[in-house]
Amino acid sequence: MKLLKFIKYLFRPSDEHKGIRPIQIYVLKLFFLLMFVFASSDAWAELLTHKGEWNPEIAVAWCSIAAYTTLSGIGIFHTLKMLPIMIFMIFYKALWLVFVAYPMWQNGTLANSEALDWSQIFILILIPIIFMPWKYIFKTFILGED
């Protein structure tokens, strides 16, 4: 009986979270946590241990990843306020899948490439896409309503 109540709670819009279902908040918190723990540690390790001159484009990429994944740590606690970080992550990964991975897949060159590993990671953006509170995002960040 308690399990059924908990499941109902997870899928019912919550006043505490501005009408967003708790399951959405928890999944987004999980993704913020994963970004913060894994991606920021990789990015900072790369920045702090790099030897020699940087390729400027590669350096921009690592600095950008370090910045947004470190900021994602705030999203663990202030999930709705940090949704733009999640939108950024979805947007750049979707662009990469469309402009890099898809053409390689069409040409039959994705399977034996380094891009395959990135594709397998980046395709996981489907999960936050499904759990994003799109109506809230539109109202808050596009229309500017509270």
Quick: pLDDT tens for 18-51.
889 999 999 999 999 999 999 999 999 999 999 9
In one-letter notation, the amino acid at residue 118 is: W
Contact 101, 114 (CB under 8 A): no
Provide the whole-model pTM. 0.85
Give the closest residue to 88 by CA, choosing from 5, 10, 37, 32: 32
Return averaged pLDDT per consecutive 10 residues of the chain, 146 residues in all: 78 83 94 95 95 95 95 95 95 96 96 93 95 95 88
DSSP-derived letter for residue 61 is: H
Backbone angles phi, psi at 15, to 5 degrees: -65, -35
Kind plus residue range of the DSSP H or E element containing 65: helix 56-77
Q: Name 133's Cβ contacts closer than 8 Å, sequence gap at least 6.
A: 20, 21, 24, 80, 83
